[in-house]
Amino acid sequence: MATVGIIANPASGKDIRRLVSYGTVFDNQEKVNIVRRIILGLSAVGVARVLYMPDYYGIVPQALDGLRREDKVSLRVERADIELTADQQDSLNAAIFMRESGVGCIVTLGGDGTNRMVAKGCGNIPLLPVSTGTNNVFPGMIEGTVAGMAAGVVALGIADGPPAVMPTKKLVIYKKGQPVDIALIDAVTLRDRFVGARAIWETERLLQAVVTRGEPHNIGIASVVGNIEPVTPDSDEGMSLEFGTEGRLVLSPIAPGLIVKVGVKGYKKIRIGDEVRIIRKPCIIALDGEREVEVKEDEEACIKLTFDGPRVVDVKSVLSERVKKWAGERSKGWRINGF
């Protein structure tokens, strides 16, 4: 039975960047609305079951409640049986539960931070990330209806493998030789001691960064790389940067509406498997835009580039493949779900 997981993070897009820059206001009613469109998309292509991450707000149940009567969907909607903690741990626990339940695809609603948590638990299950966060590189702005259809096609097994489902890179953070966390886009060290309000906005505190990708159209620290020497998501390289005002000044959009000159002292391309040592300590490592890992003066820490990030659905390719398959099936006299 084709099952799709939905992880809609109620807390994405609320952080301090709304205060210090012009962070998007993505309220939960809109997330409910997007989930409705995803469910309708899933239902239309014939997905039988949805497994969702519960939250205190009840994004998915509210989405179902608000469906018009004539839009009654045939799929079964079930709650992932996890204990709620009302923090980012929920996304991870839900991803693990979904992986263990054998879902065929997971749709995430959130930003880079949400996807990072999901990536820690989803294993080989393809992700379809829909952006609802503040600074996003990993998820794209995709219409929910289409995202639902694409996720359904993947879960039904109609499309898999490149170009429909693409591998991604990942950074692994090591402390004293042990992997402690990951990042999908960037790991940035800051002259800070506390996680605090999590987001990054004070560029004068930047020390070092390692990125899996960075293109000029990105936002956040990835944009700095994008504006020096772009690294594409599919290339087998990353970049290591050191910040400092004595270096080159790179005009970069580091948060919504916040375009600043970031001083880059040095940078170099790195290869898959390379490890970058963290030199300036104590520091905080921000992972995909959120301050997460604290590194003390005497702690050995490094960041390693790998290619075993989550597999990600390319909506365009998936839906194109589906059309190609239909053409073949129609010629055999098949019909899929009313088409």
Task: Report the interface residues with another protein, using CB under 8 A.
Answer: 10-11, 14-20, 23, 25, 27-29, 55-58, 62, 83, 85-87, 192-198, 202, 296
Question: For residues 61 and 167, which CB has a smaller minimum distance to another protein in the complex?
Answer: 61
Could you give the CA distance from residue 67 to residue 253 in angstroms, rounded to a whole number? 38
Question: For residues 19 and 251, which CB has a smaller minimum distance to another protein in the complex?
Answer: 19
DSSP letter at 71?
G
Q: 203: which residues sit within 8 A by CB, 6+ positions away?
A: 243, 254, 260, 262, 263
Q: How far is the CB of 23 from another protein (least distance, A)?
A: 8
Question: For residues 57 and 174, which CB has a smaller minimum distance to another protein in the complex?
Answer: 57
Q: Are 106 and 126 in contact (CB under 8 A)?
A: yes
Which residues sit opposite 107 in a β-bridge? Answer: 6, 128
First and final C-alpha spacing in the chain: 20
Question: For residues 55 and 314, which CB has a smaller minimum distance to another protein in the complex?
Answer: 55
Q: How far is CA 150 from CA 1, 162, 205, 276, in A?
A: 17, 14, 41, 37
Question: For residues 19 and 279, which CB has a smaller minimum distance to another protein in the complex?
Answer: 19
Q: How far is the CB of 43 from another protein (least distance, A)?
A: 24
Q: How far is the CB of 147 from another protein (least distance, A)?
A: 22
Could you give the CA distance from residue 28 to residue 156 in angstroms, rounded to a whole number? 29
Q: How far is the CB of 194 from another protein (least distance, A)?
A: 4
Nearest to 119 by CA among 139, 133, 145, 140: 139
Could you give the CA distance from residue 241 to residue 36 in angstroms, rounded to a whole number? 41
Question: For residues 28 and 168, which CB has a smaller minimum distance to another protein in the complex?
Answer: 28
Question: For residues 56 and 339, which CB has a smaller minimum distance to another protein in the complex?
Answer: 56
Q: How far is the CB of 40 from another protein (least distance, A)?
A: 21
Could you give the CA distance from residue 116 to residue 310 in angstroms, rounded to a whole number? 9
Nearest to 35 by CA among 54, 59, 57: 59
Q: How far is the CB of 16 from another protein (least distance, A)?
A: 5
Question: For residues 277 and 296, which CB has a smaller minimum distance to another protein in the complex?
Answer: 296
| DSSP structure string for 174-238 | EETTEEEEEESSEEEEES-S--TT-B---GGGEEEEEES-B-TT--SHHHHHHTTS-B-TTSSEE
Note the helical H segments in the chain. Answer: 17-20, 28-45, 59-65, 89-101, 112-122, 144-155, 221-226, 315-331
Q: How far is the CB of 193 from another protein (least distance, A)?
A: 7
Could you give the CA distance from residue 149 to residue 162 in angstroms, rounded to a whole number? 18
Q: How far is the CB of 59 from another protein (least distance, A)?
A: 8
Radius of gyration of the chain, Cα coordinates, nearest whole angstrom = 20
Q: How far is the CB of 84 from another protein (least distance, A)?
A: 8
Question: For residues 132 and 168, which CB has a smaller minimum distance to another protein in the complex?
Answer: 132
